[in-house]
Amino acid sequence: MTQGFDNSAHVTRIPLDQIRPDSQRHFYGTSKLDTLAHLMSIRGLIEPIIVRRLIDGYEIVDGKKRWCAARFLGWRSIDATLEPES
């Protein structure tokens, strides 16, 4: 389920190699990932991904497909919003 993007949230740029996917396994068909990657190459990232801080980096809460597309495009970093710590 996608969480709405909160414009008031602090967006930061995080290196892709510091982010790991959540533990749930998802498979995105090549055509869907290709389409998203193509759109991101033209428009950039419209909505930051959401991550939670871990001891050794970050874990994706929302935006795994955007993260995969960014990696496919060879991006080194991505805009992300940190999930509030509970």
pLDDT tens digit sequence for 17-58 = 999 988 766 666 678 889 999 999 999 999 999 999 999 999
- Mean pLDDT value across residues 70-81: 96
Summary mean pLDDT of the chain: 86
Residues 83, 50 contacting (CB under 8 angstroms): yes
* 51 domain residue, yes or no: yes
- Cα torsion 64, 20, 79, 81: sign: positive
**pTM of the predicted model, to two decimals?**
0.81
6 occurs within a structural domain: no
- State the CB neighbour count (10 A cutoff) for residue 54: 11
The structural domain count of the chain equals 1
Judge whether 62 lies within some domain: yes
Residue 5 has pLDDT above 60, yes or no: no
Does 26 map to a domain? Answer: yes
Whether 3 maps to a domain, the answer reads no
Inter-helix orientation angle 64-73/30-43, to 10°? 70
Q: Note down the domain range covering 40.
A: 11-82
* 23: CATH: 3.90.1530.10
Helix (H) or strand (E) holding 72: helix 64-73
